[in-house]
Amino acid sequence: MPEFLRLLDARSLSLEPLSVETLQINITRLCNQACRHCHVDASPRRREMMARATWEQCLAVLERHPSIRHLDITGGAPELHPDFEQIVRRARAVGRHVMVRHNLTVTLDGHPISGASMAHLPGFFAEQGVEVISSLPYYRASLTDRQRGRGVFDKSVEAIRRLNAEGFGRPGSGLLLDLVYNPAGAYLPPDQCSLEAEFRRELREKLGLEFNRLLTMTNMPIHRFRQQLEQRGGYERYMEKLMENFNPAAAAGVMCRSMISVDHQGRLYDCDFNQMLGVELDAEAPATIFDFDMSALLARRIRFARHCFGCTAGAGSSCGGATADSGMEQEAS
Ligand code: SF4
Ligand code: SF4
């Protein structure tokens, strides 16, 4: 039995699916950036795109199931998909809350293949009332650029300024801009509330920027981040840290209990991380969006494995940030 399951068993924890409130669709691996910690291995060289028939089916599933309240669109940089705007408009037209994982810099960089301008994105997001969720690893240039590439901080600041000008992050606008923090190294994120206050103070006072929430995420021990740890001989030490900081309250809130992730070919997964590892749904569950079956999905066994300790350490980690109070010391290394 995998050690994550052994631990759940030893603690008599049963993490069954609770609902499918969110459909997360990964529509492309193409990205204008190639960040060091990217668990998707996205880059300007990737070409995977979700086909029209597949995203049409995702929207049909949304229409059939009003209980799926959120459409979470991710990539790569999802805005680089040729049908991105159509997908957003259609989901909004059927009344769904749409979240876009927006890397900020794409607004300034433009399309890495066609060279087309993407400067209209803040206005489009505002017009459609989407929730914008954007990585900003730190409020200073050095750490952000180290993780995401030289010049990324300055471009991110300019992109936030443009989002703020459209009303994002401004009180009373109803337009939400969330920033995402992840640690620069092999340590757990600090307390989300305190860090949010620190980010707000620094970004407001020094740069005049506004945002709604700061979401803290743990670096998952997969793909590029795992390779870096292995190159430095720190993978096992990091895993031990995640395991030592296992938090049952965080485990209860893992996102796979309330979402389904869809890859660009329409295959279904418990979450984005399982998708990136090619860990498909339990054999009894539907395999693709074309045979979506809510009852069967709610009855499935979630495919937990070793990397799941990344979701359950400290205050927990999910697409929506921390899932619990940590109640335990956060270590830095
Ligand atoms: S911007 Fe996001 S998707 Fe693109 S490389 Fe960086 S982490 Fe990956
Ligand atoms: S990595 Fe594991 S615990 Fe985290 S959301 Fe995915 S399946 Fe659930």
Q: For residue 202, report the phi and psi dihedrals to the nearest 5 degrees.
A: -65, -45
Judged on CB neighbours under 10 Å (0-12, 13-18, 19+), 11 is exposed
Q: For residue 256, is pLDDT > 50?
A: yes
What does the pLDDT read at residue 197? 98
Q: Which amino acid is at 60?
A: A
Ligand nearest to the CA of 271: 2
Residue 284 CA, ligand 1 centroid: distance in Å:
32
User: What CATH fold (topology level) applies to the domain 16-220+253-304?
Assistant: TIM Barrel (3.20.20)
Mutation choice for ligand 1 from 30, 35, 102, CB with most ligand atoms inside 8 A? 35
What does the pLDDT read at residue 323? 84
Q: Which residues line ligand 1 (CB under 6 A)?
A: 31, 33-35, 38, 40, 42, 75-77, 103
The number of beta carbons lying within 10 Å of the beta carbon of residue 1 is 8
| Helix locations, the chain, DSSP H | 3-10, 52-64, 84-93, 106-109, 121-128, 141-148, 152-165, 192-207, 223-231, 235-244, 248-252, 272-277, 294-298, 309-312
Q: How confident is the model at residue 8 (pLDDT cuts 50, 70, 90)?
A: very high
Residue-wise pLDDT for 266-302, tens only, equals 999 999 999 999 999 999 999 999 999 999 999 999 9
Give the span between the Cα atoms of 280 and 286, in whole angstroms. Answer: 10
Q: For residue 330, is pLDDT > 60?
A: no
Q: Which residues line ligand 2 (CB under 6 A)?
A: 254-256, 270-271, 273-274, 302, 304, 307-308, 311
Mutation choice for ligand 2 from 15, 279, 304, CB with most ligand atoms inside 8 A? 304
Joined together, the tokens standing for residue 72 give: 């979470």
Can you give the pTM of this predicted structure? 0.94
**Interval 161-169 mean pLDDT:** 98
Give, in order, the Cα–Cα distances in Å from 173 to each of 127, 155, 167, 211, 279: 12, 24, 6, 12, 40
Q: 295, 268, 294: which is closest to 24 by C-alpha?
A: 268
Give the span between the Cα atoms of 187 and 218, in whole angstroms. Answer: 8
Give the span between the Cα atoms of 262 and 199, in whole angstroms. Answer: 32
Q: For residue 178, report the phi and psi dihedrals to the nearest 5 degrees.
A: -105, 140
Mutation choice for ligand 2 from 256, 261, 275, 301, CB with most ligand atoms inside 8 A? 256
Q: For residue 332, is pLDDT > 60?
A: no
